A and B are shown apart, each in its own frame.
Chain A
Amino acid sequence: MTMDIELTVNGEQVRESVEPRMSLADFLRERLQLTGTHLGCEMGACGACLVLLGGKPVHACLVLAVQASGETVETVEGLSERGAIADLQAAFHDRNALQCGFCTTGMVVNAHALLGETPVPARDEIRDALSGNYCRCTGYEAIVDAIAETARKRASDAEASA
């Protein structure tokens, strides 16, 4: 059986027919070629597949594409192209907070959501927010630094413009 679904992905209206068993991650990667959403475990344990569903970070490997019908999805490609994470990307780049890059998109999506909720998180809060995001390459410290630096910059920019 396939089902028709309709959803908004990165601001674009998408209509597709999918098998109910298809995960949102496979849907994004295989149907829409949005390969920035990665798969590292397919069971919610690595965070490589994080996307925003209705504005909140969720594991795209644990959501079925049919469940997302009628919803709004944003992936790293969308966030990047609309400039929402430019400063985070720059901070990750400056701090060399990625190596192979496979965890990076999930990290950035999660960091974006964190800073939306907690504009100036403490280091512990950053580590806590990343507690489900596995990175084999960096050892995490640079990622924490990059997020903390973005928060600091945003706060000081906000102060300057106030």
Chain B
Amino acid sequence: MRSSDTRTISARDPHIGQAHRRETARRHLAGRGRFVTDIALPRMLHAAFVRSPMARGRIVEIDTSDAAQSPGVVRVFTARDLNPLCQPWTGTLDHFASMVSAPQNLLAEDEVLWAGHPVAMILARTRAEAEDACELVMLDIEEGEACVDGHAALAEDAVRAAPGLDSNLCFQTVLETKAVDDAFACAAHVVEGDFVFGRHTAVTLEPRAVVADFDAASGQLTVHHGTQTPYQFQDIYARHFALPESRVRVIAPDVGGSFGMKLHLYNEEMATVAASLQLGRPVKFVADRLESFVSDIHARDHKVSARMALDAEGTILAMDVDDMTQIGAFSTYPRTSVAEGNQVVRLMGAPYKMPDYRGRLSVVFQNKVQTSQYRAVGHPIACAVTEALVDKAAVKLGLDPIEMRARNLVPDDAYPFVSATGYSFEKLSHEACLSKLRDLMDYDALRAEQAELRQKGVYRGIGIAPFVEITNPGAAFYGVGGARISAQDGAVVRLTPSGEVQCAISVTEQGQGTETVISQIVADQLGVSPEQVKVTTGDTDTTPSGGATWACRGAGIGGETALRAGRKLQGQILALAGQILQSDPADLALAEGHVVDANSGTRRMPLAEIGRIATYRPDTLPEGADNSLTAAQHFAPSGYPFDFTNGIQASLVEVDVETGIVRLLKHWVVEDCGRIINPLLVDEQIRGGVVQGLGPALFEECLYDETGQMTNASLADYLVPMACEMPDIVIGHVETPTNDTILGAKGVGEAGTAAAGAAALNAVNDAIGPLGAQIHQTPMTPLRVLKALGHV
């Protein structure tokens, strides 16, 4: 029998690579989405939380008696009632040597550690009544000194951000090659800068939402949870509430955006589960937008000092980087708050031949909302610092920014290549991307136009930023550190009695198009159309266990899982068909809903007939025939620990040098995510990602005052990128499939975000550079631009 497992993707896979539309989109367009926020169950209670109004303090007294009497209130919980139900959690991992973090539990016990820390939980018939009661809780907190600035927090005598800490240092690491100091000693040029990257947050349009439903009679806990990682939460709920895993079902229906934010554990979700366990009734919690700002994880918050050494020709010799990142009072669980900084120091200089490097990372506690992984973890920081320095070097050497990159990018024929920070690259395409970008944006014409407009007092700037993105991670990311986070995924594919296909898979959908991509891949393995493949995701009871969606793995790992499951089922179908048709299965294939002659393509029998016989008339099969039409397959990446992708972005901006207002005129991306399964979806992932990079470059920032209060915690004050301010985005592709898998797909979800901010930063500096100005801080607000220009 011909082994179907060695065949690579070919013309026999007519749907892989095609721009299939997302069928689920139709439901949303008709207003028939089903989000956790939409769920209403019988006898359901609504939760609201009383939160700490200050960043740091000691709880003297909580008086809930008035609140308990408020109309509609069913129960009021404080830490004393609720915390004993839950095993505390601690956000550390073994592979981040000697990292520390204090244990956490549902509600604040003795101390409040950030403004927004939940202190009491109200359960009422309606959310409005629960909020009424929140106002009646008397909270006596003795205010303490808060740690707000990371540098100050590191001082010997600084107050500690959480009880039990020896210092405010959560984690520290240094990466270093031997010759880094020599490189700087003999450099012809050294460029340097101190950079500040503001805190921002995910602002998914659907806020965090959970409905926990514990049925005491059966011992079954069902949690409807707007998350990208249902299995992870199944494991967490089972372990922390001491329930058998089989009695915990987590369902993630439609999720209104996630971007990494919804895979962390939050006090409120845990407390909602605890309350349902305690009351035996469904409990719903939906974070309102004000709560989102003070409880959803924040992102970034880095201060970076960096230098770059170059020789006389502009060859990059080394970088020396010090990153201090501020994470709140705790490291998040279960992925920690260290991964961001860790990726910052490992991705510096990633696109370049640069032989030497030193990167220092300090992860510091303070009394603010926790920061953690958000789309493009660490990438935007590493990319912005690297590319800002490359542009500074280009100016110093009088080289065009494109030429500067051409001299330093890892050549396309130099793979496999190991970076100075120790990453192994299988095969990247920086040179091809650079040259494609140059054509796509008509670089020379833009430069000419820029020069012409400058004569008229119009300041335009062009910024270039190549990048490397980490995708398809294996267990090296979290598993090796002891986290119960799956790096493998699973799929069950079956042929229905009428010859259609169903696939239940562990990767999840938040609108990226996971289900569509999976249907295309499975369809090609079974000779049907994607419309005939029904894909089920997001329910731990009905899909096999897996990592789901994190770190760009849906298409690369989920797709490979589906492909292998599909091929397994293909083998089963062909074996059965061979017996029915008295043919050698090796001479048969599947196409257009039929078993066909592998060579001539002649139709031999419809799949529906196989389904019918196997299901209703197995008695007619030859003796010993196996009528199983279900195949299960799990897949974990092996080979390279990650599949790196690469690409390059460019931004065109206009700076109003009198007002400091920056206008984004256009943006370009050339991207290589390996095999493209669906170009329509890939392009929109990139566009959405770019805008999530441009937002923090120009607008988004969680602002805090000196007491640790977030001062712009509403959607009226926190500026998200909106339609009028965002540019059109032109996209080009280079395709370098990975050989790690049959499918050859890598990830693409974070590529846009990785370098968009860096390109915009370089563009603004290109615009204002001729005026002797430079900006090293994001977001680039009018105030900061005006300061850079010396107007104020």
Contacts and interface: CB of A to CB of B under 8 A. Distances in A.
B188 interface: no
B723 A36 contact: no
Nearest to B726: A140
Given A101-B256, A103-B205, A38 B37 contact: yes
A134 B720 contact: yes
B688 interface: yes
Interface string B257-277: 111000000000000000000
Interface in B122-173: 128
Contact of B205 (A48, A126, A127, A142): A48
A93 B38 contact: no
A126 B511 CA distance: 23
Contacts of A22: 128
Contacts of B128: 19, 21-22
Interface stretch (A52-60, A65-73, A74-82): A74-82
Contact of A128 (B26, B688, B724): B724
Interface stretch (A1-9, A27-35, A151-159): A27-35
Given A102-B205, A102-B206, A34 B288 contact: no
A21 B37 CA distance: 20
Contacts of A36: 30-33
A158 B444 CA distance: 43
B684 A138 contact: yes
B680 interface: yes
B255 A134 contact: no
B502 interface: no
Interface residues of B, number: 56
Contacts of A118: none
B289 A41 contact: yes
Interface in B184-210: 202-207
A139 interface: yes
B30 A136 contact: no
Contact of A137 (B32, B40, B688, B726): B688
Given A45-B716, A77-B30, A140-B691, A100 B510 contact: yes
Contacts of A29: 38
Interface string B33-56: 111011010000000000000000
A103 B255 CA distance: 12
Contact of B680 (A96, A102, A108): A96
A141 B288 contact: no
Contacts of A14: none
B38 A35 contact: yes
Contacts of A93: 21-22, 25-26, 29
Nearest to B730: A141
Contacts of A135: 205, 723
B31 A80 contact: yes
Contact of B722 (A101, A102, A134): A134
Interface class of chain A by DSSP: loop
Contact of A102 (B33, B724, B729): B33
B723 A133 contact: yes
Nearest to B511: A99
A141 B205 contact: no
B30 A80 contact: yes
Contact of B687 (A37, A94, A98, A138): A138
A134 B33 CA distance: 18
B205 A38 contact: yes
B677 to A, nearest CB: 14
Given A43-B716, A136-B205, A100 B256 contact: yes
Contacts of B33: 35-36, 101-102, 104-105
Contacts of A24: none
A99 B688 contact: yes
Nearest to A102: B256
Nearest to B29: A89
B207 A98 contact: no
Interface residues on A, range: 35 or more
Interface in A99-120: 99-105, 108
Contacts of B179: none
A22 B681 CA distance: 39
Interface string B283-320: 00000110000000000000000000000000000000
B254 interface: yes
Given A92-B25, A100-B254, A100-B511, A43 B715 contact: yes
A46 B715 contact: yes
Contacts of A143: 723
B31 A35 contact: yes
Contacts of A132: 722
Contacts of B255: 100
B715 A45 contact: yes
A30 B511 CA distance: 25
Contact of A139 (B24, B511, B688): B688
Contacts of A128: 724
Contacts of B723: 126-127, 130-131, 133, 135, 140, 143-144
A149 interface: no
B645 interface: no
Contacts of B447: none
Contacts of A40: 205-207, 289, 715
B747 to A, nearest CB: 16
A102 B257 contact: yes
A146 to B, nearest CB: 10
Contacts of A131: 722-724
Contacts of A140: 691, 722-723, 726
B722 A141 contact: no
B512 interface: yes
A75 B32 CA distance: 12
Among A41, A42, A46, residue most surrounded by chain B Cβ atoms (within 10 Å)? A41
Among B27, B28, B288, B689, residue most surrounded by chain A Cβ atoms (within 10 Å)? B28
A42 B289 contact: yes
Nearest to B717: A45
Contacts of A19: 128
Among B30, B255, B257, residue most surrounded by chain A Cβ atoms (within 10 Å)? B30
Nearest to A135: B205
Given A36-B30, A38-B206, A43-B289, A142 B25 contact: no
B285 to A, nearest CB: 14
A30 to B, nearest CB: 7
Given A45-B715, A99-B512, A101-B511, A38 B726 contact: no
Given A96-B21, A96-B22, A101 B28 contact: yes
B30 A76 contact: yes
Contact of A39 (B26, B37, B512): B37
B724 A127 contact: yes
Among B26, B29, B681, residue most surrounded by chain A Cβ atoms (within 10 Å)? B29
B690 interface: yes
Contacts of B207: 40
Given A94-B21, A141-B728, 12 more contacts: A22-B128, A37-B31, A75-B31, A76-B30, A92-B25, A99-B257, A100-B205, A100-B257, A101-B27, A102-B257, A103-B205, A139-B690
Closest 4 pairs between A and B when the two form their complex, measured CB to CB: A36-B31, A101-B28, A99-B511, A102-B256
26 contacts: A33-B40, A36-B31, A46-B715, A80-B29, A80-B30, A92-B25, A93-B25, A96-B681, A100-B205, A101-B27, A101-B254, A102-B256, A104-B29, A105-B31, A131-B722, A131-B723, A131-B724, A134-B720, A135-B205, A136-B202, A136-B688, A137-B688, A139-B688, A139-B752, A140-B691, A141-B729
Interface of B: 21-22, 24-35, 37-38, 40, 128, 202-207, 254-259, 288-289, 510-513, 680-681, 684, 687-692, 714-716, 720, 722-724, 726, 728-729, 752
